[in-house]
Structure 1
Amino acid sequence: MTITDAPPAARPVGRRRLVWTGLLWVSLVPAAIWLAGRTFGWSAGFWVQLLAFTPYVAVWTLIPVLGALITRRWAAAAVAALIALGFATAVAPRVVADGDKGPSTGVELRVMTTNMLFGGADADEIVRLVRDNGIDVLAVQEFTERGQQALAAAGLEQLLPFNQLAPEWGASGSGLYSRHDFAEQAARRNDGGFQQAHAVVQVPGAGTVYVESVHPLAPSSRDVVAGWAADLDDQVPAEGGLPKILLGDFNATLDHKALRDLIDTGYRDAADTVGKGWIGTWGPYDGDPIPPVTIDHVLADDRIGVKDVQVHSVKDSDHRAVIAWLTLPAA
């Protein structure tokens, strides 16, 4: 053996170290691409669907950080930490209540949204949630005539006697039920083909507020992503006119730039505002093996305060109901 030869036992160790270093760096590439796509709003094909699972990826990015630190790959540790910090900046605020929740005094309005899964969700359970929580306005999506009849039989109209209903077969129907009368009411069909019931609700002591049951097209395949983005872009912006509340199945999470752009017109996401923005609302609730994601939202105009949010499972629906306690400015 010459003086320059490495001992035979050292060669496998060196190769293993090189392999582990390479694997560590390779593991950072998809996370970095994911973060860039999320940050800059890339929306193409199935990537839109994957973005909904960003919080899970954010947690996963801690593994390369720990692996690099344990194995003393300092350069890789620094890059992994920057990526993890980027994800944390994007998703961690959802579990921390905002310092600014909007007005804290005024008139309380309790709103609830629920997707009825082709009208088959348990109507008795929906009505129980309305009754037990003193709901003032209920928005329903995937609202069919069967669902309308079931809600009526369960006594919903005794609790919320005013309504704007657009039931349809399948997933495209929409409805609003209210404790308070409407000054105006209608339903519009978005470009994706779904109805969106909307009304100007006359709230005693607070004047009027615009409320809409939102249900943009789902980005279920590549050829409908453009329609999904167009539907979100076509939602009513917050600025100007009456205070506004949009609630429903947005088919988007806070990791989709299209939804963030809508919020930036002057809304607050109610769950995000009170530190409950990670609570899943769609996925495994009817037995599908899908990790929970948060696609049902209550967006409240910045002129409206947010007090609290609760999320409840509803039997025979793949969505959970979202309830928000809001504060409207007094008239």
Structure 2
Amino acid sequence: MDSVNRADGAGGAAFAPAPAGDEDTVEEAPRRPGRAAAWGAGLLLAGVSAVLGFRVADSDGFTPVPQVLAFLPWLLVPASAGLLMAVLGRWRLGMLWGVVVLGLVAWYMEPYGNTDAPRGDAVAELRVLTSNVEFGNGTQGLIGAVRKERPDLVFVEECDHACATLLRTELPRADYPYRAAVDAAAADAAEGSVILAKVPLKRADGLDATLGMPGAVADVQGHPVRIQLAHPMPPMPRQVGLWRSELGKLREYAAAGGGRSTIIAGDFNATQDHAAFRAVLDAGVRDTARLAGTPRAPSWPAAAPAPLGAQIDHVLATPDFAARDARFLEIGHTDHRALAITLILHEPTRTT
């Protein structure tokens, strides 16, 4: 018993088991931050990848994908954060994933569509202005912008009865003798839309849509130009299908031009990152803000400081137009910036 006791006493310290959990603590403690970083990277990169998957597939998907696609350039933020967390977590697959995702976002930030210059001689010049005045609230600011910019064509969205009356009073027919309009219903100020013109307008059918989208044919120094105001419904939850359908009507209008000079201007509630908007461009028109060097200047929401926001207000034109002097204007009391741009009409090249 003594030998046993001595062995216990003398050798007990040497053979005593380590306190429970010590080994786990030593091995696991350094790994926990890395593991958490890897998990965070996976979640961020998975979210960005889900949205990019629809962009790669040339689809707008379903809510919330269309809403997020409007701000696609800002996916750089979670993508960069995901890559950084993968590096901190020493997650090699995540690092590769992050690099690929960042590359795709950067690739799709490039402006969409061609910028080939018209080949014929320049025959006419038009200053065009489009503005969503948000239920008429920005009308007074729009009037000030019109007086300063002196546009030949003015496209006004969400122009209620008070807006239409103020435009008649402050911009009389002596200045803008030609008009095409869809009157706002008493219950919905957003339905009203007006086209004002210094050049003669011939009546033409507009597009049948939820909000007013009037159209006309302008006589620009003897050259007929089809003009159409755009204001499809926004891609709100539960009405993405309606938004896609009304952008489809604008695509059909562009495609029906048959090579005739065409201008489509207004609040498209869509950016170049939406497949439904790219389909409009592919039907034979170009985004003139890109031609003028401002492809991603934000127009909504106006309260967001540049470069935050999305460019959803556009002036589209057929390839016989060049463009310059694009300006996005703060007019006040509306959530949109107005867009003013100069278009130069070129005569088609003659073949012998």
Q: TM-score, normalised by structure 1?
A: 0.86
Partners of 1:131 and 1:159 within 8 A in 2: no
SS, match of residue 190 in structure 2: coil
Report how far residue 249 of structure 1 moved.
Answer: 0.8
SS, match of residue 272 in structure 2: coil
SS, match of residue 234 in structure 1: helix
1:299-310 → structure 2 map (5 Å cutoff)? 299-310=316-327
Match of 2:280 among 232, 248, 262: 262
Structure 2 residue aligned with 1:275: 293
Report how far residue 329 of structure 1 moved.
Answer: 1.2
Match of 1:52 among 51, 70, 85: 70
Q: Describe the shift of the 1:31–1:89 C-alpha distance in structure 2 as closer, same or farther (beyond 3 A).
A: same
1:89-142 Cα shifts (integer Å, max 9, x gaps): 111437xx975354595122111111121223233x323322322311001111
1:169-188 → structure 2 map (5 Å cutoff)? 169=185, 170-182=189-201, 184-188=202-206
Q: Describe the shift of the 1:103–1:313 C-alpha distance in structure 2 as closer, same or farther (beyond 3 A).
A: farther
- 1: distance between equivalents of 2:157 and 2:117? 27
1:184-207 Cα shifts (integer Å, max 9, x gaps): 22453524x2221111111116x1
Partners of 1:104 and 1:307 within 8 A in 2: no
- For these two proteins, the number of residue pairs brought into alignment is 318
Q: Describe the shift of the 1:26–1:166 C-alpha distance in structure 2 as closer, same or farther (beyond 3 A).
A: closer
- 1: distance between equivalents of 2:118 and 2:91? 46
Report how far residue 168 of structure 1 moved.
Answer: 1.2
Aligned-residue identity in percent: 26
SS, match of residue 93 in structure 1: coil
**2:46 counterpart letter in structure 1:** V
Higher RCO (CA 8 Å, separation ≥ 6 residues) = 1
Report how far residue 148 of structure 1 moved.
Answer: 1.3
Q: Note if 1:227 corresponds to 2:246.
A: no
- In structure 2, the gaps of 5 or more residues are 1-16
Partners of 2:206 and 2:216 within 8 A in 1: no
Q: Note if 1:122 corresponds to 2:139.
A: yes
SS, match of residue 131 in structure 1: helix
- 1: distance between equivalents of 2:78 and 2:118? 34
Q: Note if 1:26 corresponds to 2:43.
A: yes
Q: Note if 1:145 corresponds to 2:164.
A: no
1:311-330 → structure 2 map (5 Å cutoff)? 311-330=328-347
Structure 1 residue aligned with 2:260: 242
Q: Note if 1:159 corresponds to 2:178.
A: no
- 1: distance between equivalents of 2:111 and 2:282? 16
Partners of 1:269 and 1:298 within 8 A in 2: yes
- 1: distance between equivalents of 2:293 and 2:77? 17
RMSD: 2.6
Match of 1:61 among 67, 70, 79: 79
Structure 1 residue aligned with 2:125: 108
- 1: distance between equivalents of 2:346 and 2:104? 36
- 1: distance between equivalents of 2:168 and 2:132? 17
Q: Report the structure number with the largest CA radius of gyration.
A: 2
Partners of 1:104 and 1:305 within 8 A in 2: no
Partners of 1:313 and 1:320 within 8 A in 2: yes
SS, match of residue 171 in structure 1: helix
SS, match of residue 341 in structure 2: strand
Q: Describe the shift of the 1:72–1:105 C-alpha distance in structure 2 as closer, same or farther (beyond 3 A).
A: farther
SS, match of residue 237 in structure 1: helix
